[in-house]
Amino acid sequence: DAGVIQSPRHEVTEMGQEVTLRCKPISGHDYLFWYRQTMMRGLELLIYFNNNVPIDDSGMPEDRFSAKMPNASFSTLKIQPSEPRDSAVYFCASSSSSGRRNEQFFGPGTRLTVL
Amino acid sequence: GESVGLHLPTLSVQEGDNSIINCAYSNSASDYFIWYKQESGKGPQFIIDIRSNMDKRQGQRVTVLLNKTVKHLSLQIAATQPGDSAVYFCAEILNFGNEKLTFGTGTRLTIIP
């Protein structure tokens, strides 16, 4: 099992540019989560999906952030326009409602640096 | 300007000794708690969970204790090994049917060989 796959692993961009982070959840998982981790705020949930439908996006910082899940095997988190304060490690995680409840499997993360 | 980050509590333990990591959770109505381990450069990894109707749960070399009276959670790791060096997070869920995890700030555990 490949686990949760995220790309890119590292992204360096300039302020104002659009950034797209990608995630492939574990096959068969019906929940997908996007988290952000910073030294200032720790690990925060941004949004999560169930069966490709967004359930809770209350953690999304502002309108510059958007997330989509067009199918069960792919999700994107987009930041447009990016700002230096968006610099963080972004994690995608997935879980299964038929597995151990609330056991979320995390990907390796994408380290985003906005200059 | 200089940024102020979270001050991670740190714990250093001699290899082979037992360690106890503590966590104070915020919501007295939380129903479910999980401990995660995060190694450097990796995503968090599930260790063990406990529901609010329990006060103790044991796994392989790990034990979680829950004290709802003082909203305190602890993770005990027995016979620590170098691979236990990581940041440990407790996380809480308000309702067992809810998938939304709220993570604590974490504790950095260092195992001294």
Give me the domains of chain B, ranges plus CATH numbers: 2-112 (2.60.40.10)
Residue B97 confidence class, pLDDT cut points 50, 70, 90: low
The answer to whether the Cβ–Cβ distance between B5 and A104 falls below 8 Å is: no
Instruction: List, for residues A19-55, the tens digit of each pLDDT value.
Output: 999 999 999 999 999 999 998 888 999 999 999 999 9
Of A38, A43, A106, the CB nearest to B45: A106
Write out chain A residues lying below 8 Å of B101, CB-based: 45, 102, 104
Q: Report yes or no: B113 and B13 within 8 Å, Cβ to Cβ.
A: no
Mean pLDDT of A14-21: 97
Range of lowest pLDDT (A65-74, A101-110, B97-106): B97-106
The answer to whether the Cβ–Cβ distance between B104 and A42 falls below 8 Å is: yes
| Alpha helix segments (H runs only) across chain B | none
E-strand stretches of A9-100: 10-13, 19-24, 31-38, 42-50, 53-56, 65-71, 74-79, 88-95
Burial class (CB in 10 A: 0-12, 13-18, 19+), A50: middle
Mutate one of A101, A103, A105, A110 to test the B interface: name it (highest B CB count within 10 A).
A101
Of A31, A56, A102, the CB nearest to B93: A102
Neighbour tally for A105: CB within 10 Å: 21
- The amino acid occupying position A46 is L
Q: Judged by CB atoms within 8 Å, which residues 51-80 of B form the interface with A?
A: none
Instruction: List, for residues B68-91, the tens digit of each pLDDT value.
Output: 999 999 999 999 999 999 999 999
